[in-house]
Structure 1
Amino acid sequence: MEYDVVIVGGGPSGLTAAIRLKQLAAEQGREVSVCLLEKGSEIGAHILSGAVIEPRVLNELIPDWKEKGAPLNTEAKSDRFLLLTETESIQLPTPPQMHNHGNYIVSLGNFCRWLGQQAEELGVEIYPGFAAAEVLYHEDGSVKGVATGDMGIGKDGEKTDAWQPGMELWAKQTIFAEGCRGSLTKALFERFRLHDGADPQTYGIGIKELWEVKPELHQPGSITHTVGWPVDTATYGGSFMYHLENNQVVVGFVIGLDYQNPYLSPFEEFQRFKTHPAIRKVFEGGRRLSYGARALTEGGLQSLPRLTFPGGLLVGDTAGFLNVPKIKGTHTAMQSAMLAAEAVFELLGQEQPAREASAYSEKFKQSWLHEELHRVRNIRPSFRWGLWPAMIYSALDTFLFRGKAPWTLRHHQADHQSLKPADECAPIAYPKPDGVLTFDRLSSVFISNTNHGEDQPPHLKLKDASVPVAFNLAKYDAPEQRYCPAGVYEIVGREEGEPRLQINAQNCVHCKTCDIKDPSQNIVWTTPEGGGGPNYPNM
């Protein structure tokens, strides 16, 4: 199947690019064929975020979004920024980047479902349930398009009666909008050396729950962020709690994947966080509705890769446009997609289109998006000094230098290099879940509606099957057992003296943490059969 543009990923950036391309074509009376692939069972199924949206790009993309029923129903009304100790909470001045006047608390999944409807009305062909599994190349090495994975392959790698071959989708330009640590994007980084000259990328893992709380405890529009307990001052981490409509509250915790202690469990830290006196009172008598987890790209401006290459380009979180101090990436992802769509549209209009939409990079450098990311570039890397030095530096950078300090702090190593050996660290004793406020992994995965076909090859692959025991277990006490928020990785057979790694791939919520944090870089996350994975409602 041939198109002018193929877009991989149905998140905010992919859908924005599709909509903008069709708008530009309509404005100039041209035909531009656009196809969008989404590996989730529907648009929004794999979307997970806080989320508070800054609507500036939406105002430009679809000015009449209110009349068209965009699900931005809860306007932000109040901001709190708390420092937690084990038993106390201290309210601090809210950093200016975290002021949310004029923003909206939303379900990002529902917002993407609505964007998908707008895209289809403009003529975008959207194919959910089809995972782009391979990048296709022309003979000259430029990107030709993508191929979806075969359906109906058994665990043994052989075709079953349900086998259907994958489809090749060819395009003049392919836009990769896979989100954090996209599997195809990862291969593009290596092939085109897109990260040469940039700092190593750094990531966080965000774990989130959606609750229905008692009406008397619900404060629509209330926003709370915290730092401090339960993580130590050497670990980058913090929480969010947002009050939506309909007595619903989203609560989550983000931990930087550059943490050092292999015994740390982001999932358990999140569960422990909810027991704090200032937090637990919100959820007393409430009911947990949904659960999910997702890695996010935190490196900022100095970790951005080259955005274009022959035949394609990167948008959204797959490139790393998150504004970490703002804790927002939707408006930045959408803006990157607007710029990319304009560059691609200009390229398609040329008599002899070039292979590379290099104007995108220039448009980015001249945009408010570049200015916004430049202004906050030093905040996240300062936290390698620890919480208190980073808080002091961030205040100076924000109020004294106003983001224009004559230096740029660097990220010096990838997250998988940060772990200390287990014998240099103290194990962490986490309390058992009570099933009321705190929960275990498996009951959490159950309410994420995660599903993978039982008879398909595991999509989590090991480069060397001996490494998990010989290296990860021996040196780091198998940290994959703890950094995975879905119970995918287990060391079994210890009692018998024959330990081995068991991979429960059917539990995977597609957060990509294992691909990022594995200290041996031996785990490779690949796309499972299309439609597999979580099905997040209202997340």
Structure 2
Amino acid sequence: MAEIERETMEFDVVIVGAGPAGLSAAIRLKQLDADLNVVVLEKGSEVGAHILSGAVLDPCALNELIPDWQEKGAPITVPVKRDQFYILGEAGAARVPNIAMPPLMNNHGNYIVSMGNVCRWMAEQAEELGVEIFPGFACSELVFDESGTVKGVVAGVMGLNPDGTPGPNYEPGMELHGKYVFLSEGVRGSLSKQVIEKYDLAAGSEPQKYGLGMKEIWEIDPEKHREGTVTHTMGWPLGGNAGGGSFIYHLDNNQVYVGFVVHLNYKNPYLFPYMEFQRFKHHPMVAELLKGGKRVAYGARAITEGGWQSIPQTAFPGGVLLGCSAGLVNVPRIKGNHNAMYSGIHAAEAAVEALKAGRESDVLTEYDTALKSGPVAADLKKVRNVKPFWSKYGLTASLALGGVDMWVNNLFGFSPFGTQKHGKSDAAATEPAASHKPIDYPKPDGVLSFDRLTNVSFSMTNHEESQPSHLKLKDPAIPVAKNLPEYAGPSARYCPAGVYEFVGEGADTKFQINFQNCVHCKTCDIKDPAQNIVWTTPQGGDGPNYPNM
């Protein structure tokens, strides 16, 4: 096959992904050196189209990046007024007193936001500084120089036929070269996966762990709306089947974010995370809140949950990993956006210092050091055992152990438990179906709970159907030959968008991939027991189009 000729563009820094990490890096780069040539490439149709987060934002990093963000009109206007934490049973709920919660769990001074809208505003700030932002540009390949250093990316490939050959409207895309390449693709980014493997960046760290977060926006009865109220729950309906919990955030305009997180290290392949979320909304406390309201949006994405001990080396030859590409979420706080912003700030500062010193495309070890010794480290170290405790001991014991650990850390600055290990990957945690019983889920009622395909229509997801599927199988035989008989075909359940299904019976069974439904959550890439599914980028602009997530 002939080598593809592409146009090239040269920049000082190429940033992949217009999330909070990438945009913070772009802004800081231009703040420090207005003459730098900086480009941000975003696969969504617009900035914010692929951003999905809870989100209660801790503004600490934004205060450092743009101290006058309020005067500049940032869409951060709903301060948290009430914090509530409940343990749910099937019919009731027990509230955990706020005084028992470790201080780091307090949301005083934080804001309920749409991170999609925050990113749209951050993009405006970046462009005012002279940053070039190209939405609808999916980065499909890395470009290396002769020494194996990353020197750029391929972006904007369009018009391929389903078999991968050039179609009548084929565009080969272009190469964008940078002295440094910042990867801020979010969770389980396809290019980030490649550099972690190529440079063995995860050596010495624990396996990364993940959760699946699903979210709906509801407009509710104004009489039930309590602007600024933050509610978290644990317990029912998951019980002992999986770790996880919910969030309910009252923003403005009588809207409520209703979300549910399932930790992906669950054992039972019959578990259906999406249906656990739908069942949760029928709890009396939640059903009463939503009664008379309407769902207006839906989305899903994976969450990095490994925390401190799972962060890989974040600097590699020619670039760095930012934000969720590095895995910087604080699991008990359910927050990562502030750490993503800090990572962008640190990376920009390290790159500017290197460029001033005449260095280009070397390993920015200063960034890795700053990330692992500064505010991100302070945030993540003190909660590093919460996730492994949960995985090992279940809800009740982990609440006690995690609470003690966080309180001791808060008071004395150390953990009495050292640093716990995570153990298996989430894929390896899945056990054979023969070891478990199927779970009977109630049928969605179309009022509080909805089937997947109906909900996916509320994510405004669209993929050009004539392109190749961006969901690749390493071995096309494995789903039917191995995953179906051994694990009861878990891909038909773990996907929150109904992408995967087994069609037919017996010898006629086929594995079908409805890639048009994909909301880019990456769960399949993470949870498939055989690690046979590889998530890659579709052509630019395709995927969900989230309005206010």
Q: TM-score range by the shorter chain?
A: over 0.9
Q: Provide the secondary structure at the position in 2 that maps to 1:474.
A: helix
Contact 2:301–2:520 (CA under 8 A) maintained in structure 1: yes
Give the deviation of 1:271 after TM superposition. Answer: 0.2
Q: Provide the secondary structure at the position in 1 that maps to 2:448.
A: coil
Please point out which of 74, 77, 92 is paired with 1:73: 77
- Equivalent in the alignment of 1:372: 379
Distance in 1, Cα, partners of 2:308 & 2:112: 26
| In the alignment, structure 1 residue 85 sits paired with structure 2 residue 92 | no
Please point out which of 422, 447, 466 is paired with 2:458: 447
| In the alignment, structure 1 residue 405 sits paired with structure 2 residue 409 | no
Query: Residue by residue, what CA displacement relative to the aligned partner does 1:488-524 show, whole Å, maximum 9, x if unpaired?
Result: 0000011x64111100000000000000000000001
Give the deviation of 1:43 after TM superposition. Answer: 0.2
- Equivalent in the alignment of 2:543: 533
Q: What is the one-letter code of the residue matched to 2:474?
A: K
Q: What is the one-letter code of the residue matched to 2:92?
A: E
Matches within 5 A, 1:195-206: 195-206=202-213
- Equivalent in the alignment of 1:64: 68
- Equivalent in the alignment of 2:106: 99
- Equivalent in the alignment of 2:529: 519
Distance in 2, Cα, partners of 1:142 & 1:518: 31
Q: Provide the secondary structure at the position in 1 that maps to 2:464.
A: coil
Aligned structure 1 segments of 4 or more residues deviating by more than 3 angstroms: 400-403
Distance in 2, Cα, partners of 1:219 & 1:366: 39
1:49 and 1:354, CA in 2 relative to 1: closer, same or farther beyond 3 A? closer
- Equivalent in the alignment of 2:152: 145
Contact 1:234–1:386 (CA under 8 A) maintained in structure 2: no
Q: What is the one-letter code of the residue matched to 1:215?
A: P
Query: Residue by residue, what CA displacement relative to the aligned partner does 1:325-376 show, whole Å, maximum 9, x if unpaired?
Result: 1110000110111111100111111134461111111222331221211111
Distance in 1, Cα, partners of 2:67 & 2:511: 52
- Equivalent in the alignment of 2:497: 486
Matches within 5 A, 1:209-220: 209-220=216-227
Distance in 1, Cα, partners of 2:240 & 2:267: 12
Query: Residue by residue, what CA displacement relative to the aligned partner does 1:253-281 show, whole Å, maximum 9, x if unpaired?
Result: 00100011101011000000000001111
- Equivalent in the alignment of 1:25: 33
Distance in 2, Cα, partners of 1:149 & 1:64: 35
Distance in 2, Cα, partners of 1:401 & 1:79: 22
- Equivalent in the alignment of 2:6: none
Q: Provide the secondary structure at the position in 2 that maps to 1:386.
A: helix
Please point out which of 506, 512, 515 is paired with 1:505: 515
- Equivalent in the alignment of 1:50: 54
Distance in 1, Cα, partners of 2:203 & 2:406: 29
Matches within 5 A, 1:169-188: 169-188=176-195
Contact 2:45–2:136 (CA under 8 A) maintained in structure 1: yes
Q: What is the one-letter code of the residue matched to 1:214?
A: D
Query: Residue by residue, what CA displacement relative to the aligned partner does 1:167-212 show, whole Å, maximum 9, x if unpaired?
Result: 1000000000000000000011110000000000000000000010
Could you tell me which runs of 5 or more consecutive residues in structure 1 were left unpaired when the two chains were aligned: none
Please point out which of 304, 311, 316 is paired with 2:318: 311
Distance in 1, Cα, partners of 2:482 & 2:524: 15
- Equivalent in the alignment of 2:276: 269
* 252-261 vs 89-98, which moves further: 89-98
Distance in 1, Cα, partners of 2:324 & 2:376: 13
Contact 2:188–2:522 (CA under 8 A) maintained in structure 1: yes
Q: Provide the secondary structure at the position in 2 that maps to 1:447.
A: helix
Query: Residue by residue, what CA displacement relative to the aligned partner does 1:427-483 show, whole Å, maximum 9, x if unpaired?
Result: 111111111110000001101000000110000010111100111001000000000
| In the alignment, structure 1 residue 348 sits paired with structure 2 residue 355 | yes
Could you tell me which runs of 5 or more consecutive residues in structure 2 were left unpaired when the two chains were aligned: 1-8
Matches within 5 A, 1:396-475: 396-402=404-410, 404-406=414-416, 407-475=418-486
Please point out which of 4, 11, 15 is paired with 2:23: 15
Distance in 2, Cα, partners of 1:260 & 1:93: 32
Q: Provide the secondary structure at the position in 2 that maps to 1:537.
A: coil
Distance in 2, Cα, partners of 1:10 & 1:75: 25
Distance in 2, Cα, partners of 1:294 & 1:257: 12
- Equivalent in the alignment of 1:39: 43
Distance in 2, Cα, partners of 1:457 & 1:371: 44
- Equivalent in the alignment of 1:135: 142
Matches within 5 A, 1:246-285: 246-285=253-292
Contact 1:134–1:149 (CA under 8 A) maintained in structure 2: no
- Equivalent in the alignment of 2:332: 325
Contact 2:230–2:247 (CA under 8 A) maintained in structure 1: yes
Q: Provide the secondary structure at the position in 1 that maps to 2:377.
A: helix
Give the count of matched residue pairs.
534
Q: Provide the secondary structure at the position in 1 that maps to 2:333.
A: coil
- Equivalent in the alignment of 2:3: none
Q: Provide the secondary structure at the position in 2 that maps to 1:13.
A: helix
Task: State the percentage of identical aligned residues.
Answer: 56
Distance in 2, Cα, partners of 1:205 & 1:513: 7
Contact 1:176–1:313 (CA under 8 A) maintained in structure 2: yes
Distance in 1, Cα, partners of 2:396 & 2:134: 48
1:150 and 1:354, CA in 2 relative to 1: closer, same or farther beyond 3 A? closer
Distance in 1, Cα, partners of 2:409 & 2:38: 44
Give the deviation of 1:157 after TM superposition. Answer: 2.3
Distance in 1, Cα, partners of 2:409 & 2:218: 40
Distance in 1, Cα, partners of 2:252 & 2:14: 36
Distance in 1, Cα, partners of 2:239 & 2:526: 22
Contact 1:308–1:357 (CA under 8 A) maintained in structure 2: yes
Root mean square deviation of aligned Cα:
1.1
Distance in 2, Cα, partners of 1:474 & 1:296: 29
| In the alignment, structure 1 residue 244 sits paired with structure 2 residue 255 | no
Give the deviation of 1:158 after TM superposition. Answer: 2.6
Distance in 2, Cα, partners of 1:292 & 1:362: 35
Distance in 1, Cα, partners of 2:451 & 2:241: 26
Distance in 1, Cα, partners of 2:245 & 2:380: 20
Distance in 1, Cα, partners of 2:85 & 2:284: 16
